[in-house]
Amino acid sequence: MDKFRIKGGKILKGQVAISGAKNSALPIMAASLLTAEPLHVHNIPKVRDLVTMSKLLTFMHVHVSVKEFPSSDYTLQATRLNDEVAPYELVKTMRASTLVLGPLVARCGRARVSLPGGCAIGQRPIDLHIKGLELLGAKITQEHGYVEATADRLRGAEIVFDRITVTGTEDLLMAATLAEGETILQNAAREPEVADLAALLNKMGAKIQGAGTPTIKIKGVTKLKGARHRIIPDRIEAGTFLIAGALTGGDLNIAACDPAHLDAILIKLKESGVKTKSTADSVRVMGDNPFTASDLNTEEYPGFPTDMQAQFMALATQAEGTSIITENIFENRFMHAQELVRMGANIKIEGHRAVVRGKTQLSAAAVLASDLRASASLVLAALVADGETIIDRVYHIDRGYEKIEEKLKAVGAQIRRIGNMLP
């Protein structure tokens, strides 16, 4: 398994270009199931999860064509679909595979998708996806680890989410585009990735209003057409590099990002004493100030993203004072804390709160990545640790960061991948 070897203490300087958003590209690729016409999608990040999604769609007889592999430009065409199944072998490697459920039952009247099973960061059930499809008139059965949804044609309905769910909103948004009549999604997720998906669907001929707000209205149509779309930048990748620049006391320009999607992150960085300067499509971070401790609560967008919690914890270990980090979205998202403690951090976990006392000098160690964002947090800590850190199981980071070691190396980090398993 690949590992990273990182020598700490290098100041990062220069420019990093941000890739397209993984969490936008995934539902947008699944949307190709809604039409027999081609979708041309650009700025797709070259990360493992998108390779998995294209494997899943190919398994479902979607014609996936790319110039080179992995690619940032895909053409996807689901000319003919027949009794498609999302198999356990693929779904178990990436729970976002469940995003094919809504589009399949909407287009074909039948979908059979493996239930995703447990995840390192929490139970993560899909009960709200299923409940929503039932409200749209689908008949749902669950057996042998699979959920099966059937419907002659879905019917518009009002769906009030018990709690905000990102892929739940996206799954039902896609299903409702081909339903008969109007659907209203209440308490919907407002993430920029949801709005990006809706922008694509409207280009395909859907009638969606209110994406990006808690209330989304969808007037169903009988058929959708092909379209061309460019994926928005990855705000979590941008946030990760902002913290890399700050932590190393560097001067980094984070380019090709959308600062408007980074508000909560930039506010928290400012509170922690980090200087940033934004333009329309970039943010410059200058980390020459000492950091001050700052409490954090993870929330749904536009609140502080849970996908940045681990990275922020690495910063909090280098801040003067005590930071209380409260994780409100997932019940088990502090796996990185124990590894940071192995590097010399002072962190106590109390239920879904982490108490981080800083500033402590981090020392290099052999550490283990447990999930995508936890591994990013360990990379950040290793950049300021004394000595050479070895991070094992970096396949987690390859799921959501495009060539992170090359981007870091290009701005002065001393990082090397050991092994040969690139996406």
Q: Which residues would be at the binding site for ligand EPZ (CB under 6 A)?
A: 23, 26, 96, 122-129, 163, 165-168, 306-307, 329-330, 372-373, 400
Helix (H, G, I), strand (E, B) or coil at 188: coil
* Nearest to 237, CA basis, from 7, 399, 6, 13: 399
Whichever of 163 and 416 has its CB closer to ligand EPZ, that residue is 163
CB of 21: closest distance to ligand EPZ in angstroms? 9
Q: What are phi and psi of 346, to 5 degrees?
A: -110, 95
CB of 166: closest distance to ligand EPZ in angstroms? 4
Distance between CA atoms of residues 309 and 158, nearest Å: 33
- What secondary structure does DSSP assign to 110-147, as a single string? EEEEE----BTTB----HHHHHHHHHTT-EEEEETTEE
CB of 338: closest distance to ligand EPZ in angstroms? 19
Whichever of 111 and 293 has its CB closer to ligand EPZ, that residue is 111
CB of 129: closest distance to ligand EPZ in angstroms? 5
Whichever of 136 and 385 has its CB closer to ligand EPZ, that residue is 136
Whichever of 123 and 186 has its CB closer to ligand EPZ, that residue is 123
344: left (phi over 0), alpha (psi -120 to 50) or beta: left
* Nearest to 48, CA basis, from 362, 368, 405, 400: 400
Whichever of 10 and 170 has its CB closer to ligand EPZ, that residue is 170
* Nearest to 1, CA basis, from 297, 421, 422: 421
Q: Does the active-site annotation cover 108?
A: no
CB of 164: closest distance to ligand EPZ in angstroms? 6
Distance between CA atoms of residues 32 and 369, nearest Å: 33
Q: What is the 3-state secondary structure (H, E, C) of 202-250?
A: HHCCCEEECECECCEEEECCCCCCCEEEECCECHHHHHHHHHHHHHCCC
- Is the N-terminal amide bond of 302 cis, ω within 30° of 0? yes
CB of 301: closest distance to ligand EPZ in angstroms? 7
Sign of the torsion formed by the C-alpha atoms of 310, 54, 200 and 152: negative
State the alpha helices, DSSP H only, in 46-191: 48-59, 88-91, 101-108, 127-135, 166-176
- Which residue among the candidates 1, 69, 119, 162 is catalytic per the annotation? 119
Distance between CA atoms of residues 386 and 102, nearest Å: 49
CB of 168: closest distance to ligand EPZ in angstroms? 5
Whichever of 291 and 330 has its CB closer to ligand EPZ, that residue is 330
- Cα 99 to Cα 115, 169, 220, 284, 331, distances in angstroms: 11, 10, 19, 35, 22
Angle at 175 between CA 171 and CA 177, to 5 degrees: 125
Whichever of 161 and 291 has its CB closer to ligand EPZ, that residue is 161
With 0-12 CB in 10 A as exposed, 13-18 as middle and 19+ as buried, what is 356? buried
Which positions are catalytic? 119
